[in-house]
Amino acid sequence: QETDQPYRTGYHFQPPKNWMNDPNGPMYYKGVYHLFYQYNPDGAVWGNIIWAHSVSYDLVNWVHIDHAIYPTQPSDINGCWSGSTTILPGEKPAILYTGIDTKNHQVQNLAVPKNLSDPLLKEWKKSPYNPLMTPIDGIDPDLYRDPTTAWQGPDKIWRVIVGSQINGHGRAILYRSKDFVNWTRIDSPLHSSGKTEMWECPDFFPVSTSSTNGVDTSSQDKSTKHVLKASFNHHDYYILGSYMPENDKFSVETNFMDSGVDLRYDYGKFYASKTFFDGAMNRRILWGWINESDSESDDIKKGWSGLQSIPRTVLLSKNGKQIVQWPVKEIEKLRSKNVSFHDKKLKSGSVLEVPGITASQADVDVSFELLNLEDAEILDPSWTDPQLLCSQKKASVRGKLGPFGLLAFATKDLKEQTAIYFRIFRSNHKYIVLMCSDQSRSSVREELDKTTYGAFVDMDPRHEIITLRSLIDHSIVESFGGEGRACITTRAYAKLAIHKQAYLFAFNNGTSSVKISRLNAWSMKNAQIVSTTKRRKPH
């Protein structure tokens, strides 16, 4: 197993085999976390899409149970695509999802649990009124999908949005309903944009401006802002604004693809994500789909494709201008062997091994102190695209303050390495922190997508130390820079740096020294992710 499948993960959510894409309808219900996901039961490529279903008591260990939603009706006979769960009054979950009907049109359907007293909600029945929403009045039947979690206004009327594109504008079509079955389309969309393509998997939810608690989707709390997320252009983009349920107006603070604003959940691979409100822990949790970076024939050979991110809590940042994300704290219970040090100077050109842990399956938390900020390179005003900047200034390109950071999945001789690092620039009287993930040397294998990713971290290094948390798991690294203000997730398929041949290093390839003020790294145990047949009773 070890050598056959070096890229299967130890603590990320994966089905035992086959294709997985979008997370669907996540929820917390009667003590159980539910995750549904887009799944091909017949192979490792996209197709035959149904909703597979897994349950958990802690968001870490999972049991795969029977598929929840699969084609049975004319309104979903050609596929059961993405959607969301809403918990209706009386603790009654309801799923809205996109069906592909007999004409291959996208329509919106409803399903509810067969037996509400089963906390695992194993069986679902579809509404006899399906489809509830259809592509009429100028909606393209190919561009109409992925209903969100619905929310209820103070008038008790339900609202939901569906992703679309009309006349070249990405759009959140808004519907209202009194009974969750009869839905009326509202003329003006919740929001739209002429600068984007089709909006897939929209998400719309409040975040608190006054506390670190998550907020229920239908909350009437006034101290909130709303997040609107849309998936397009291979990324999950979001904007912030204030939502007024009285007239369903969403006044935005920024817009999608505005010049100078580029708010994304993750600047690496992370798509079709979805949040839910976890009432047990008063937090909002985000799941995202991470696809492969190898070829389709490699996916077929390894028999699977697609991961889910580690679930992340989502909060508004202190300055209110963006959201911040952090891996749910339950994941920390998988931490085992620890290595830690502090106040270690990383001189120019140095590479420091982080020894004694399983470097292919680890959780690393490190903070860097800059000793000579005035050494920072001057930022050319034309360097506005962080990803481009990272791909021009790769980890091997010597700088002044940086590149410094971590080398994951590295061979001892550093021939293979996935570098997650920072570079500090100066622009007038401001400092700019660039965070990169460089996959160009991640594998001696060719024919892999080794795109470099980058993001600016909204922080002032004069007043804060620079922190990096990386969750490393065989073929994935999820990195959280600046306490979760910039996230970059990447896939890497080392050929040599696998299992015990994988090493972890800290490095500094700048001319100026930096100090590791603190580093903690842990080996991570495997999560128990099992199928019903092997299921043991939870305790």
Can you give the binding site for ligand DQQ, defined by CB under 6 A? 21-22, 38, 49, 81-82, 98, 145-146, 200-201, 271-272
Could you count the other beta carbons within 10 Å of the beta carbon of residue 382? 7
CA 294/CA 180 separation, integer angstroms: 42
- Residue 21 or residue 358: which is nearer to ligand DQQ going by CB? 21
416: which residues sit within 8 A by CB, 6+ positions away?
A: 409, 410, 441, 442, 443, 444, 494, 495, 496, 497
Min CB(165)–ligand DQQ separation in Å:
11
Q: Which of 287, 323, 309, 327 is nearest to 212 (CA)?
A: 323
Q: Residue 298 is inside which H or E element, if any?
A: helix 296-302
Looking at the Cβ atoms of 21 and 475, the one nearer to ligand DQQ is 21
68 near 36, Cβ under 8 Å?
yes
CB of residue 307 to ligand DQQ, shortest distance in Å:
14
- State in angstroms the smallest separation of the CB of 24 from ligand DQQ: 9
Is 22 known to be catalytic?
A: yes
Query: Rounded distance, CA 191 to CA 38, Å?
Result: 26
Pairing mode, strands 529-531 and 514-524: unpaired
Residue with Cβ nearer ligand DQQ (99 or 399): 99
Residue whose C-alpha is closest to residue 490's, from 409, 392, 402: 409
- Whether the Cβ atoms of residue 493 and residue 443 lie closer than 8 Å to each other: yes
Closer of 200 and 416 to ligand DQQ (Cβ): 200
Q: Which is nearer to ligand DQQ, 201 or 379 (CB)?
A: 201
Return the number of the residue (272 or 314) whose C-beta is nearest ligand DQQ. Answer: 272
Minimum CB distance to ligand DQQ, residue 134 (Å): 16
CB 190 within 8 A of CB 134: no
Residue 254, token pair as written in the block: 């920024």
Residue 275 Cβ, how far from ligand DQQ at the closest point, in Å?
Answer: 16
Indicate the helix (H) or strand (E) that contains 437: strand 430-438
The three-state secondary structure class of 330 is helix
- State the nearest-atom distance from the C-beta of 98 to ligand DQQ, in Å: 5
Taking the complex as a whole, the smallest distance from the CB of residue 389 to ligand DQQ amounts, in Å, to 28
Q: How far is the CB of 22 from ligand DQQ (least distance, A)?
A: 5
Q: What is the maximal distance between C-alpha atoms in the chain?
A: 69
CB-nearer residue toward ligand DQQ: 273 or 367 = 273
Residue position matching structure tokens 């291959």: 104
4, 22, 266, 380: the catalytic one is 22
* Residue with smaller CB distance to ligand DQQ, 97 or 368: 97
Give the integer Cα–Cα distance in Å for 345 and 339: 17
Contact assessment for residue 86 and residue 110, using Cβ atoms and an 8 Å cutoff: no
Q: How far is CA 358 from the centre of its chain?
A: 25
* Structural contact between residues 62 and 527, judged by C-beta atoms closer than 8 angstroms: yes
Q: Is 190 left (phi over 0), alpha (psi -120 to 50) or beta?
A: alpha
In 3D space, the residue among 65, 72, 77, 1 whose CA is nearest the CA of residue 34 turns out to be 65
By annotation, the residues acting in catalysis are 22
